[in-house]
Structure 1
Amino acid sequence: MNQLSVAIAGMTLVLAACKTAGSVPARDIPTAMNQAATALLQERLLHSTSIAVVYRGEEFILHRGELETGKSNPPDDATLYEIGSVSKTFAGLLLANAVLEGKATLDDPIQKYLPSAYPNLQSNGEPVRLRHLLTHTSGLPGMLPLQVNEVLKDFTEHATPAKLNAAYAGYGQQQFWQDLHAVSIQGPLGKDYAYSSAGTELVAHTLERIYGAPYESLLAEFLSREAGMRDTWLRLSAQDISRLAPGYHSDNPVITTPMPLLPWGAAGNLKATMPEMLKYLRLQLSAHPAVAESHKSLVRFEEDFRIGYFWNIGQNSQLGTHYVHHGGVPRAQSYAFIVPKYQLGVFIITNQSGDATAKAMEGALAHIFDVVESMQRR
């Protein structure tokens, strides 16, 4: 499934209702979550999932299945998951905060923040700007180094995780800057959608230049201060590695390796527990000024598809205006949905990653959305 398509679109059960237990949501939402998990785990290659829901101030977590088939090891609230490209929305949120603080503007040329001259980062005399990075309209390649883009064309091949590990072994910011000189921008800026994790990495660097601190520490400070999130990580300590969920790539029955570290990590390296993702959903449903800024539509591709600060903005009769992002690494896939119409936030993840995983999660989520919609009509 390509990125534009994704954007546009006998096991252990642990369920926790974190607030009022006797209300209608506490009766209906857990049932819908259980239905969603059941539907997802009927898929041949999927055997574990966790779901977090915030609905009208109430919070729920569900864990189902086994992280490893036959091991009776269900995920729990301490399990750390690789949330993949949902990480991008965190970088967008920090840049939205910087814009509100007057430290950057969306029309700033990215060259303003780079360590040396990059005359190649322009098209027909117009420079690549911050807004182009946020909306995947910069013309930058999907990944750096460039050979990774070829590797990902055969994503389901069993050798793909090992090839990714080899490409990123020793690949740091210095190599990224060297490779960036070889990039050629094609086409008009701000118009054509071309998903770029390389662009997200540049946003992380921009934040470092703005605040004079590493992106990792900027993120940790912001999340702790604004959302009480203290168990979300770009890199894991030795003591936390054991909490990282094992996962499976494509139809390979052998556990695969984690996503290798990117130069900054903003494009897809975050790991978080489900209680942490509940806090993130709650923040995204709040009136926080940086959240409101990050939800602004910056470019429209279709009547029902726009992009804000990395958030894909959808519009349909069931959910109204909603914000969604898919995350995928070689051994996990996830979705985050923010639905202001219903004061609803949903995060779902499974520790398997293949071509059909995203569609399976979308089908599972329909159970939750249908129940919430029906509750509004009562």
Structure 2
Amino acid sequence: MKNKFLLILLLSSVFCLAQSSKTENIQILIDSVANRMIKKPLIHSTSIAIVYQGKEFIGHYGELEKGKKNCPDNKTIYEIGSISKTFAGTLAAKAVCEKKLNIEDEIQKYLPEDYPNLKYGNQPILIKHLLSHTSGLPNMLPLEANTILQNFLNHETPAKIDELYKNYGEKDFLRDLHKVKIDTVPGYKYSYSSTGSLLVAFILEKVYKTKYEKLLTDFLTNDIAMQNTKINLSNQETKKLAVGYHSDNSVITSPMPQLPWGASGNMKSTVPDMIKYIKFELENNKIVAESHQPIVKFSKEFSIGYFWNIDTDDQKLGTFYIHHGGVPRSQCFIYIIPKYDLGAFIISNQSGADTAKVMSEAINEIFGKMTLIEKNI
């Protein structure tokens, strides 16, 4: 009996050491990849968060401002850009689960006046078309924004966007919606649309009779315990907002201007809060399961859920969910990989031609080497 107890104790110790070794190796891997990443041209800081089988790994690297030794930390607030859309999709999935919303509904049902232009022939735009970027709506309203963004890397682009959206509110958006022309049958052609995500926020306001920002904040606080994720910041919170750089401009760029409802790209968050979001997504509760349902399958490898890009092309990772976020002074990615109970968030306070490529290469290297660590433990 004594020998059996000693054997159990020995095996338990070996297991604990193996787990400890695995944890240390993963953190060393993340540190190594990140420290090489910030040596790339223009990218001088990054924050990375990994959730793996319930364990959390967070790392902050480099300097937010070159030469100032101001490394980001857990209190740094980042602009997460279009990852904001996944939150709008989650709230839409919640409304569906609560039977408050049917994604087969025509959007006209929720609009304050008649929009005969929001259809192609007799084919109207449905809510599911907004969620899957197949509505045929333009990326941005007002329409001039799309012309400006064609030259995204131009140093004058952020200032032009700032000027365009100065005092641009919800009434202006609904007015400009009349100017849209749908040139293809909704539901088939992928065409990325921030306009569509703003309309989802507007529809959710009608469904819940609550302003979108409050609806979002209440959900994040009560359901996910995300206390530091929001659309608008207080004066005190603004002091913690990461500075950032656009293209190859060495001058600090102003924050993304406020868009109506803020659902397309105005959310801000901290890395610990994004860890909570990843964990929520990996729980696969009924809201998450609904939001991950493919709405449109474009190919065997790619489909769209409630604003989530669904990738089935990687045999090793299995089906996973991904979204990129970008504003003129930061870019980021979020990955949800259920097969391995794995999720990741990576962000840099630089937004240029190669930022997304550099970040995706870094995360792919981490994922690839994590599987080797798992095998060797």
Please tell me whether residue 40 in structure 1 is matched to residue 37 in structure 2: yes
- Specify which of 338, 357, 360 is matched with residue 362 of structure 1: 360
Give 1:115 deviation, angstroms.
1.1
- Specify which of 299, 302, 307 is matched with residue 310 of structure 1: 307
TM-score if structure 2 supplies the norm length? 0.93
**Alignment-derived partner of residue 300 in structure 1:** 297
Please tell me whether residue 83 in structure 1 is matched to residue 80 in structure 2: yes
**Alignment-derived partner of residue 342 in structure 2:** 344
Please tell me whether residue 283 in structure 1 is matched to residue 289 in structure 2: no
CA distance in 1, matches of 2:163, 2:18: 49
- Which amino acid in the other structure matches residue 136 of structure 2? G
RMSD value over aligned CA atoms?
1.3
Please tell me whether residue 165 in structure 1 is matched to residue 162 in structure 2: yes
**Alignment-derived partner of residue 121 in structure 1:** 118
CA distance in 2, matches of 1:297, 1:377: 32
- Specify which of 69, 73, 88 is matched with residue 72 of structure 1: 69
Q: Write the deviation string for residues 109-143 of structure 1: whole angstroms up to 9, x where unpaired.
A: 01111111111111121110110000000000000
- Specify which of 125, 147, 170 is matched with residue 144 of structure 2: 147
Q: Write the deviation string for residues 122-176 of structure 1: whole angstroms up to 9, x where unpaired.
A: 1121110110000000000000010000000000000000000011000000000
Give 1:42 deviation, angstroms.
2.2
TM-score if structure 1 supplies the norm length? 0.93
Please tell me whether residue 189 in structure 1 is matched to residue 194 in structure 2: no
Aligned residues: 359
**Alignment-derived partner of residue 102 in structure 1:** 99
**Alignment-derived partner of residue 220 in structure 1:** 217
Please tell me whether residue 249 in structure 1 is matched to residue 246 in structure 2: yes
CA distance in 2, matches of 1:191, 1:284: 27
Give 1:25 deviation, angstroms.
3.9
The SS at the match of 1:338 is strand
Q: Write the deviation string for residues 179-227 of structure 1: whole angstroms up to 9, x where unpaired.
A: 0001000112111010000000000001100000111000111111111
CA distance in 1, matches of 2:365, 2:358: 12
CA distance in 1, matches of 2:316, 2:353: 26
Q: Are 2:170 and 2:260, in contact at CA under 8 Å, matched by a contact in 1?
A: yes
CA distance in 2, matches of 1:330, 1:53: 25
Percent identity over paired residues: 52
- Specify which of 308, 332, 335 is matched with residue 333 of structure 2: 335
- Which amino acid in the other structure matches residue 205 of structure 2? E
Q: Write the deviation string for residues 209-264 of structure 1: whole angstroms up to 9, x where unpaired.
A: 00001110001111111111111010111111110000000000000000000001
Which stretch shifts more, 163-172 or 111-120?
A: 111-120
The SS at the match of 1:243 is coil
Change (3 A) 1:56 1:204: same
Change (3 A) 1:25 1:270: farther
Q: Which has the higher helix share?
A: 2
- Which amino acid in the other structure matches residue 176 of structure 1? F
Change (3 A) 1:334 1:130: same
**Alignment-derived partner of residue 321 in structure 1:** 319
CA distance in 2, matches of 1:217, 1:25: 41
The SS at the match of 1:333 is strand
Q: Are 1:314 and 1:322, in contact at CA under 8 Å, matched by a contact in 2?
A: yes
CA distance in 2, matches of 1:354, 1:171: 26
Please tell me whether residue 261 in structure 1 is matched to residue 258 in structure 2: yes
Which has the higher Rg, Structure 1 or Structure 2? 2
CA distance in 2, matches of 1:128, 1:330: 30
Unaligned runs of at least 5 residues, structure 2: 1-16
Change (3 A) 1:108 1:24: farther
The SS at the match of 1:195 is coil
Give 1:300 deviation, angstroms.
1.1
Give 1:356 deviation, angstroms.
0.8
CA distance in 2, matches of 1:270, 1:27: 32
